[in-house]
Structure formats: structure tokens, C-alpha cells
Amino acid sequence: MAATTVTSRVIVTAAGSGIGKAVAERFLAAGARVHICDVARNALEATIAANPGLTGSMADVGVPDEVERMVADAVGHMGGVDVLVNNAGIGGPRAALEDISYADWDRTITVNLNGMFYCIKNVARLMKDQRAGCIVNISTASAKVALPLRSPYVASKVGVLGLTHTVAREYGPWKIRCNAILPGLIDNERGRRILANHAKEKGVTLEVVERDFLEFISLRCWIDPSEVGDLAVFLASHAGRHITGQQIGMDGNVEWEI
């Protein structure tokens, strides 16, 4: 059970699996009402079935009409929205910039950055009317150090930081807070797969790649997805009421990435 109590109405995007699922579950454990969305129906339905009280919608955050329907569903289930966790994102292509297609670039920016704008746009008026709200945007530690061959991903996630700071300034007078979390090396299926792919490309063992990655993390640590969830819960709680416009690493301090 999360130590912090949050009696709020929460939307978490892309919460059928991964970090989003962990975030949704930590908010539930803290006492919040939670509505999630995902593009994968099986994952969405499985997460809802495993967490009584959770509600959800199928939605691609890169499609404005689907975001509008998802927010309307959330309001229908919960009566309003107090917290938005913008978690949805894709890795995008891994290639030299000149080899990236226009379509792959556009899709990465659309999901990772435009999707956050669409979601914030659709909850902002609700939060302004109640003169309270908390928005948590999930960026990445890669936004601090850059990452060769991942230009659309990094560009989109750096854009998230600019969006976060601007939203914090623009909506602060209505007591709406906006912060970004920058996760590091996440200990889940996706994180382990990333390292496995690096090992395969370099022709070395997974243990060697893990050692090389951890060498450039100050605490030499993986991050459990629930840690990101607990930080989001804290930011949405009374204890975090004066925290806004911040870029908060949940990464053990990523110094560099290989």
C-alpha cells in the first residue's frame, strides 16, 4: 500500500502495461479513483479485470477525437478529473537521422508530444473551473543526455519538458500544477528487451551490456515501475501541493547513455 493518500480522480494514459499500469495501481492503492486508456485492447481489459474499481477506454492519444472521447468517459465514470498522468509514448525508430522516414518522425512526435497536448487541452478547462489540478508528464532521463540514433524520441521527450514548464506557468494562477518525471533504466520487459537488443547488436553477453549501462548510472540501479508510480502519487498529494514546473529524475542519476 502506498504511504501517501490521494482522494482524487485520476486519468493515466497507456496504462494497460508497463509504467502506466504501475502508476495506475499505485494511485488505486492510495485511495484514488482511476480511469486508464490504452491502444491494446487485451492489455487494457486484463489490467481492468485485475484491479477492481479501475475503469478504462480504448484510445490512441495521438488522435484528438479519441482523446476527447476518453476524457468524456473518465468524467462520466468519475464526475471530473483532478489528476492527469501523461504516460503514453513510443520508442520510435532507431536509425541515423537521415535514414528516418517522415512518417516515423511524425508518428513519434504525434504520440509522445502532441498526445500530451491533446490530453492537457481536454482537462485544462475542467481543472480551471475547479481551480485545482495536477498534471504529471512522463519524459525520460535520455532527455538530459541525448541518445544517438534516437533523435525523434529524444526530441519529443525534450519537448515534453518545455511543455511542462510552460503549462506550470500558464495554469499556476488556477492552482494547477504540472511536473515532469524522468525515468531511467526501467526494470520491466521493455527495459530488459532494450538491453538484450544491444547485446545482440554488439555480439556480447547481456551481463556485459548491463554492466556497461549501469556504469553510467550514479546509483548503479534499475528502477522498478512502481517507484515512478509512487513519485506520481506524491506529486498529486497534499505533500506535493507546492511542487510545480519541475523536472524530477527517477533514474539513479543517469550520467550518460551508451
* CA 62 to centroid of chain Cα atoms: 14
CB within 8 Å of 229: residues ≥ 6 apart: 2, 19, 22, 23, 24, 25, 26, 27
pLDDT of residue 3: 53
Q: What does the pLDDT look like over 185-209, one tens digit per residue? A: 999 999 999 999 999 999 999 999 9
pLDDT digit string (tens) for 126-150?
999 999 999 999 999 999 999 999 9
**Is there a domain that residue 64 lies in?**
yes
| 211 part of a folded domain | no
pLDDT digits (tens, 9 = 90+) for 213-250: 999 999 999 999 999 999 999 999 999 999 999 999 99
| Residues 48-79: tens digit of each pLDDT | 999 999 999 999 999 999 999 999 999 999 99
- Burial environment of residue 203 by CB neighbours within 10 A (0 to 12, 13 to 18, 19 or more): exposed
Among 62, 165, 172, which Cα is nearest to 117's? Answer: 62
Domain CATH code at residue 106? 3.40.50.720
Does residue 172 fall inside a structural domain? yes
Q: Is 157 helix (H, G, I), strand (E, B) or coil?
A: helix
Q: Are 134 and 177 in contact (CB under 8 A)?
A: yes
Per-residue confidence band for 6, with pLDDT thresholds at 50, 70 and 90: confident
What per-residue string of b and e applies to 126-153 under the rule 16 or more CB within 10 Å gives b?
bbeeeeebbbbbbbbbbbbeebeebbbb
- Predicted confidence band at 2 (pLDDT cuts at 50, 70, 90)? very low
Residue 244's domain spans which residues? 9-185+224-250
Q: Residue 85 falls within a domain, yes or no?
A: yes
Active site residue: 102, 118, 153, 171, which one? 153
Helix axes 206-215, 189-202, angle to 10 degrees: 110
Q: Looking at the domain assignment, is residue 228 inside a domain? A: yes
**Is residue 153 annotated as a catalytic residue, yes or no?**
yes
210 in any annotated domain: no
* 3 occurs within a structural domain: no
Number of structural domains in the chain: 1
Cα-Cα-Cα-Cα dihedral sign, residues 196, 200, 201, 203? positive
Is residue 256 domain-resident?
Answer: no
Which residues are within 8 A (CB) of 81 and not within 5 positions of it... i.e. 6 or more apart? 9, 10, 11, 71, 74, 75, 123, 126, 127, 133
